[in-house]
Every structure is written in C-alpha cells, then in structure tokens.
Chain A
Amino acid sequence: MVETDLAVDAKELRYKGIFKIDELFKIINKSAEARGYSKNEKRSEEVVTEAGRRVFLELRLKKEVGSGAFLSIKMRITLDSLTEKIELISGQKRNVNRGDVLIIFDGWLETKYEDRYHLAPIRFFLKGLINKYVYPILPEGKYKSEVTTDIRFIESEILKSLKVYRHGDEESKRISEKIVQKEIEDDISKSMRHDV
C-alpha cells in the first residue's frame, strides 16, 4: 500500500492541426528520459471510423526520488479524427498526420512509508503541524514541486515540437524560432497563473 499525494490534477494540453505521431512519441520518450523517468504503457485503444482514427494511449512515468518516495506521472493521450496527409513543410513534401491532440497530465507523489516510525499517529500529527505552520522540514513539498516542474518540461517539449509543424508551412515560413519560444513561454506563464 502506498500513500499518494496529488500534485498536478488533469492539466490539459490541446492542439489541432498537423503533426507526426511517431515524432510526438519520440519527444515524449526523450523528455521523460531527460528527467529520469522510466516509461510504462498501461493502455492503448484505437477505433477506426470513416472520419479517421481515434487513438487513446495511457502512459505511466515513474521516478524514484528518495528512500520510499516516487514521482509518478500519468499521461492520457487522445488523438482524435486522425488522418494521414501529404503536406508541404519547409518546402518539402512530408507524410504527416492531421487531427486533434489532447494530452492530460496527472502528477503524483507516492510514498511507501507504511509501518515506518513517523506514521505513528502522534508523530504524523506533529509532522503535519510543523510542516504546515512552522517550516516545511520534510522533502515532500520539494518532491511535489519537482513533479510539477517535470510535467511543465514535458509539456513545453511537446508544444515546441507541435508548433514547429504549425509554423512550418509556406505561409508562416518566416516565423522565427524566437517567436515559437515566446509563444511557449506565454503558454507556460498562463498555465502557471492558472495553477496559482
């Protein structure tokens, strides 16, 4: 039995347009590895309809941060109305996917402190009291902020890769990397304000 503490609750990332599904998975893998998470596929579903495919994928990312403490990220990826198309990107014809992307992130701090000394009722009460009103002496708070930062990192990496496609067509070829970076920063600051 583990104690779970929810740090990020159903944070959504939405995108509509062209992207490449393999590259999306690559980016998720790379960013998760960069933050030291192990990957685990939990569920995958696919429905084939005339309008396109509907793909659902649930990933569980896990990282050990201390003795008996783990950070866990649940990613629910839904790709709706997915079709394959040939598009002109940066002057080159490329086979891409078009559809709606919805990624929902949940971040958890999991601890296996069962039967340890500080779970005795009086110690647990005092720990909570000191942690809340005096000073956050225990690392739980730090771990919770770490999982939030990790989710933001993964989210920004995904957004960065998706926005390359959005601005990669002929019309907006002149939009530089700086503008894309600025948009991502704006998105992140907006979401931070929302979290606060």
Chain B
Amino acid sequence: MGESYLVVDNLKFAYEGLFNPEEIYNIVTNLFYERDWIWYEKMNQEEVTPSGRQIRMILKPFIFATRYYQLGVQIRIHMINLKEVEVEHGGKTFRLHHGVLRITYSGEVISDRKKEWTKKPLFWFLSIIFEKYFFSDRKEKYSTKVKETIDDLSTLIKNYLNTYKYTYSH
C-alpha cells in the first residue's frame, strides 16, 4: 500500500434532541450511492439498555478515483440513549426518537492503491518524486473532492436536523 494522506481529521458533530435514526442512515447511504462510491459497513451494533437504545456504526465508503489514487471516508455514528417518543405537530402525530447523536468524519486520499510502486526502493522513490513535483495538482484535486463530500454530507445531516450551520463561504 502507498501513502495515506489524511485530509479531514476527525471532524465532530453532536446533536441532542428529536430525530429519526433510519433517516440519518438513509441520508448517509443515499449520498454515497448517488456518487457511485463503494459501500463498506465496518460495524453496525445495537444494544438495548434500560436507559434506551445504543447504536454504534462505523461506515467506510471508498472510491477508486484513478488507477493510482483511492479516496476514502470514515463516518463513525454513535446514537446514545435513544427513546421512542410521539410528537404532535400540525394536528398529526409523528413517531420520533429522542437521544444524543454523535458523528465523527475522517477523510483520506490513498496513493498507489494497487501496490505497484512500493515493490522496489527505486520505484518508491520515483513515485514520491512524481507525486510531489509533477502530479501534485492531482492529489490536491482529490483532497478537495474528499473535503467536498464530507462537507456535503455534514450539510445534509445538519439540514435534516435543522441545526444552525456554519459555512466557510459568505
């Protein structure tokens, strides 16, 4: 395996209030399916305790950007003390969950995904030189793509939860 460049380092989001866990899961899966990412669910664990349901998920979708580069995102979702509640709004009754939602995002760009350039020291040296001085714009391009994907996902989740959003642009 080649080098792994960390682009987004543990961006954290937390929310406490009403939400629907299935919809959160659907938002995440839909975004990656729409963009043709390969879905990999590393962990999906649910525990029922007297204080509520505890759900823990580790999702690691990835995409082969080129023959050389691979982009990867890691989303850790932790839902704590989920309790089912009925909420009346506009004369209708909605069945929702109340609890704490914690999401941590990480993103990386992996080079030499086929391990073709790490077999011999000379190849490895050449790959680093080319990456650093000749094709540095490509790494930048894929880093931006990973950042954008995480930003889009984060915005979608914030929109769904109707939280206040900080945006980099103004």
Contacts and interface: CB of A to CB of B under 8 A. Distances in A.
A79 B169 CA distance: 21
A1 interface: no
A29 B168 contact: yes
A47 B168 contact: no
A3 interface: no
Nearest to A77: B166
Contacts, number: 52
A43 B16 contact: no
A45 B167 contact: no
A133 interface: no
Interface string A48-87: 1000010111010000000000000000000100100000
A173 B138 CA distance: 55
Contacts of B135: none
Contact of B164 (A21, A29, A42, A59): A21
A30 B170 contact: yes
Contacts of A45: 12-15
Interface in B1-22: 11-18
A42 B167 CA distance: 12
A48 B14 contact: no
A43 B15 CA distance: 11
A57 B167 CA distance: 12
Contacts of A57: 166
Nearest to B167: A25
Interface in A16-50: 21, 25-26, 29-30, 39, 41-48
Q: What 3 A-B pairs have minimum CB-CB distances, sorted nearest first? A: A48-B17, A45-B14, A43-B12
Given A46-B15, A55-B164, 9 more contacts: A26-B170, A43-B13, A44-B163, A46-B17, A46-B161, A48-B16, A48-B18, A53-B164, A82-B164
